Structure 1
């Protein structure tokens, strides 16, 4: 388990202000993170009614049609086996160490793909009893390769220990998994949530001579608080020139029938860096002037504003397009 102090800048600020305002007691929050790469990172497993403990694993779980295809981060994750008679309703726990400071926050990633999926829960120990603070049941992911879901739980009171409770569902297609668990202790502020959160996803689009609108593109972020997606967008064009097409991504793709981007070649010089940005969307622009056939591509790093449902709209081939465009969006992460 990795432990490191948080809020370094806050410590510097207090050091500057202490001589002015007098001594102020400072309780520093600390994060304790484990990705289960080498071992359980100080956590322990308890079988309870399950035939199997939660186990470290890499790549696909042994059963078909269930479990993730890879870890959220690194090579290993923990999963609960639902085969070999370990269903239905078999319970196993993963329990944290007993922390000296009270726990203020728990963050983790989970994957629940499978038609027989059971229930994953988080419980907190108040010194005398375990109390459930979060739970989710049933299939939550569409396939092995679906992106993992991040969950953050804020806690208060004298909580010094937490645990994950896995209860198998109706059959063998119920291998649930957890990864990259972070527990925050101490009375200071919890770690800031405004940093980039890693998220891996690829979406592919094509368009040709006609403008194409698509709405509510699923980015695998429905169960998050994502507001902006960070992604590399690659766009290649095959066909005759001239070609002046724009591809837009964001939360407010609401143009008129002839949008401002629909300009002839002489006006496309407006896009100095082959990109555009305005009120809820960002774009990537092709600007080819030479005659004859061509094959060329553009790429941009975009920070894409998302809709309230954590999805995005797209408008492709807006402008003059004489060939076929192939667009690949590779997500890197997101901001909340």
Structure 2
């Protein structure tokens, strides 16, 4: 299956902001995508969707006049990891969302927390196979919940089960491309792909990526003029590798080495003036995004690379963080 999206090193790193309209160049034209929230509730990643517009249908090779939908979205809103917006990716900032698109509201949102996948065009249970008529999908037994706060949810009331569904999980960028390609192929009567071909060129060659022996992986990207006020800054994504020395040391303290734990560590370093207090922190399940001046980001990288690798030293750091009144998720 040919790669539907066009990835090119000339595409700039961008920072997602609320109510942003994006362009996604394809071999057939530009797909329009929307970012509704930079952070959706407490789960971190931007909430992204591809609206069901005439222009989007045309790019996908579908006739808007004959194409009928059961949803306002070709790809319904879902949390997209922040690393999807780094340099070389498929997104180009295209301005703010217009007021004539109905958009998305937190108040009419429910969470799908079970084993599901994007359907055509809605979210469906994983055991359902293509071809699929979404209008006939029975959601009676789906685990649909309402967000309360933090990681807390409650069972949705009967009337709430009909709200717009948002997945309680994270997905890498490739899934958005795959869902578009599945949607396109489904309606064109083509074989439904299960994975996409990789890009023809290495789009990540200009990233500064480093992994320590202790398990800290960091990737730094320089932001240029396309980032607006953030031009000249560096953005870094940091994560602890599973089963690494740092991961095991954190686990010994009864915590998990995810992005929210790293956020607590960084906030402690900020309050004790070990790193710049103006750094922007964007945590998520797998890791954390950090944006700031190049020398400040460089300092954070050095500090993260030297995180303790023994249970005793990590517990001492955790004790200091908690004593400072900083909550570790």
TM-score by length of 2: 0.23
More helix by share: 2
Structure showing greater radius of gyration is 1
Q: Which has the higher contact order (CA 8 A, sep 6+)?
A: 1
